[in-house]
Amino acid sequence: MASPWKGAMDERTALAVTAVRAVETADRTRAFWTDADRAWASRAAAEVVGASASPAAFIARRAALALERLRERRHAVARLVRAWRWRPWVGGVVVAAAFACGAATDWIGGAQRINIVYSPVLPLVVWNLVVYAVLAAGFVVRYGEPSAPGPLRRSVAWLAGVARTIRGATGADGDPASRALVALAGDWTRRATPLYAARAARILHCAATALALGVIASLYVRGLALEYRATWESTFLDATAVRRVVAILYAPGALLVHTAIPDVARIAAIQAPGNENAALWLHFMAATLAAVVIVPRLVLAGASGLIERHRAAHLIDDLQDPYFERVLRGFHPGGPVRVQVVPYSFAVVPAAAAALEALLARSLGGNVALALAPPVAYGDEDAPIAAARDGAHAALVALFNATATPERAAHGRFLAALAASGRALVVTVDESGFNARWPDDVRRRDDRRALWRDLCADPGLAPVFVDLANPDIDAAEAAFDAAFEGPPA
């Protein structure tokens, strides 16, 4: 049954969760992040957030605690997380630099002349119109779906450190730390690329606005201290053509300042070497930049900011994932998950019990207390009913010996007695004795497994087959995960 748990996490929390997940999934041998570490993280997080906390809050706190411990151990993943955290000052630097570039514009020249045809406004207006056309075309083509960031957006992201290359972390050498780095890079890039695209778009829209404001500031500040003269000259255009060009170029500004563009006669009068005071044309230029660049870019920046905020708050908003389900099984503020193991008709040696506890811990969040009940004798199948109803235990494990041939009248009745308690029940078949007796008889083992599966089919259970003397850890962990998840609804 799929997990119904859902929750939303912000960007910083999602990065920590993704990092800890990469560590815990890559270090399957528990080389540097042991079962004890995992159990501690679950236990400590449960104690901090309390029983009433949401699953997302528990996972977030657990990731923060685990990442702090990894940082104390100077783990490479913790360093990478620190490098990848978004630094808001980067956006401020980009916007300030754009304003400075606009303010430093010196296109009007030392002769204090402003060419009304080729002014500082023309390149900005044309460039922004092209950008709007590209954005509109891209939106129509994608039907509003997010796209991967382009070169400019990737450059802004790189400045923040979010696109740094992980050198030497190929994972080919089997090093768990390297595999964790690769897993983190791949998972986080997949999750965060849409967020980075929206963030870079917001910054670039703000930067375009700042650039236009810088140009306007440059024009007016210079105009306060110096008198600038408006003129024009052209090899190919006459006064009529120039008037048509400036009427189109400055139309938004003329509408904004409620002033008509001068007529052809006035345009002809200021053809070089003629000129006039440039105040009116400065107003046209500033108003045109405001109408064509500043206002639209602020609107686009606001829209990108809303998208960025939404994506940052929902990088991980679905906990229907085997990893999260496993972690959430350890969400028990009152202490470890108590599991009662009831063997049927055989004695469990201490080493096998320890192996079973370690395997269960992997599927139950790492914080497990195993209680081994006395073996139920053959013919006494109703005995476990009272113990199974003990509310102190969260789950029951029916433990069988694979050397026995399953019988419905005995083993089946035993399972029915446990299932009648209404508690979570997992069937485990220990194959250690079977493998010791018939180590190479694969066919006999498969036939025996088929019998056990047939026995468990009636109560709707899937048996977990494991050699507790020499367990295949990955296979056993996956089997226990599936068993605790339960049959499909």
> Any idea where the domains of the chain sit in the sequence?
6-87+317-325, 89-313, 336-485
Q: Has residue 225 got a pLDDT over 90? A: no
CA angle 37, 43, 49 (to 5 degrees): 130
Per-residue pLDDT, 108: 46
pLDDT tens for 428-456 read: 999 999 999 998 899 999 999 999 999 99
Side-chain half-sphere CA neighbours of 409 within 13 A = 1
Q: How confident is the model at residue 99 (pLDDT cuts 50, 70, 90)?
A: very high
Measured distance CA(39)–CA(426) in Å, rounded: 21
pLDDT tens for 16-68 read: 999 999 998 888 778 888 888 888 888 888 888 887 888 888 999 999 999 99
Q: Has residue 235 got a pLDDT over 80? A: yes
Measured distance CA(105)–CA(73) in Å, rounded: 51
Per-residue pLDDT, 153: 54
CATH of the domain spanning 336-485: 3.40.50.300
Tokens standing for 71? 């940082």
Nearest CA to 371 out of 333, 415, 340 is that of 340
Q: What is the DSSP string of 330-363?
A: T--TTSSEEEEEEEBSSPPPHHHHHHHHHHHHHH
Per-residue pLDDT, 309: 92
Percent of the chain with pLDDT over 90: 36
Note if the pTM is more than 0.85: no
Per-residue pLDDT, 107: 52
Q: How confident is the model at residue 488 (pLDDT cuts 50, 70, 90)?
A: very low
Q: Has residue 325 got a pLDDT over 70? A: yes
Q: For residues 228-240, give the mean pLDDT.
A: 89
Q: Has residue 327 got a pLDDT over 70? A: yes
Q: For residues 355-384, give the mean pLDDT.
A: 82
What's the whole-number average pLDDT of the chain?
Answer: 83
Q: Has residue 4 got a pLDDT over 80? A: no
Q: How many CB atoms lie within 10 A of CB 298?
A: 14
Stretch among 101-115, 186-200, 332-346 having the lowest mean pLDDT: 101-115
